[in-house]
Chain A
């Protein structure tokens, strides 16, 4: 079975632009989470979605938004990009049962550079 996939692998944008990152979870998983990892730090939680609804949100500005589709894939959108948004964006999938806090499996990430 395929693992978590993310696209694109790398992306270069300029300040003020908007970006959309994509994630496909492991087959059968219904929950997707997004993380931002700045160089030299641990990943920071952005969002968790389950069955197309937002279940958790981290301390990120409203410029960050996400959604989950009926096939459980997800998109992360970032508007009005800042230099500080340059980071590795990680997607994780988990959970075949809504009531359990399940093991998370991560994709390879999208490396975003904002110039």
Chain B
């Protein structure tokens, strides 16, 4: 089945710094989503981005489907950005969604 790899696994930033999170996937996908999981376990939708580029405030994302990767950019990071960021893809072979292992982000004040 499709493999989803996220990097880096852990990231520590000083407040105000910028960062780039990467998601690689091993096969064609029907869609791709980025989520932020807060400390209480709630998955918060960031982007639904099977291809192209989107921006939402300090966050933006780019998916290059032909090269099988997606990037999540966080600019001017804040302590509230801390948490785990997941990439999830839906494979073309059947109705399954595969999550990566996540990037654990900690933003220091």
Q: A residues touching B (Cβ–Cβ < 8 Å)?
A: 33, 35, 37, 41-45, 48, 50, 55-56, 58, 88, 90, 101-106, 108-109, 111
Q: In the complex, what distance in Å separates the CA atom of A44 from the CA atom of B100?
A: 9
Note all chain B residues with C-beta closer than 8 A to A102.
31
- Are B45 and A105 in contact, with the CB atoms below 8 A? yes
Chain B contacts for A58, CB-based, 8 A: 96
Decide if the interface of chain B is mainly helix, strand, loop or mixed: strand
Of all chain A residues, the one with the shortest Cβ separation from B97 is A45
Q: Which 10 A-B pairs have the closest CB atoms?
A: A56-B95, A42-B99, A101-B30, A103-B48, A106-B43, A55-B95, A101-B31, A48-B95, A56-B96, A101-B90
> SS class of chain A's interface: helix, strand, loop or mixed?
strand
Q: Is the CB of A42 within 8 A of B97?
A: no
Bound form: Cα–Cα A36–B98 in Å: 12
B95:A103 contact, CB within 8 angstroms: no
Q: Decide yes or no whether B42 CB sits under 8 A from chain A.
A: yes
Per-residue contact bits, chain B 23-55, to A (CB 8 Å; 1 contact, 0 not): 000000011010100001111010010100000
24 A-B pairs in the complex with CB atoms less than 8 angstroms apart: A35-B97, A35-B99, A37-B41, A42-B86, A45-B99, A48-B95, A48-B97, A50-B95, A56-B95, A56-B96, A101-B30, A101-B31, A101-B50, A102-B31, A103-B48, A104-B45, A104-B97, A105-B45, A106-B35, A108-B40, A108-B41, A109-B41, A109-B42, A111-B41
Report the Cα distance A102→B95, complex, angstroms. Answer: 11
- State which of B31, B33, B102 has its C-beta within 8 Å of the C-beta of A42: B102
Q: Interface size of B by Cβ–Cβ distance < 8 Å?
A: 23
Contact across chains for B41 and A48 when beta carbons are under 8 A apart = no
Residues of A within 8 A of B59 (CB): none
A84 to B24, CA, bound (A): 29
Contacting residues, chain B, for A111 (C-beta < 8 A): 41
Contact (Cβ within 8 A) B96 A88: no
Q: How far is the CB of B36 from chain A (nearest CB, A)?
A: 11
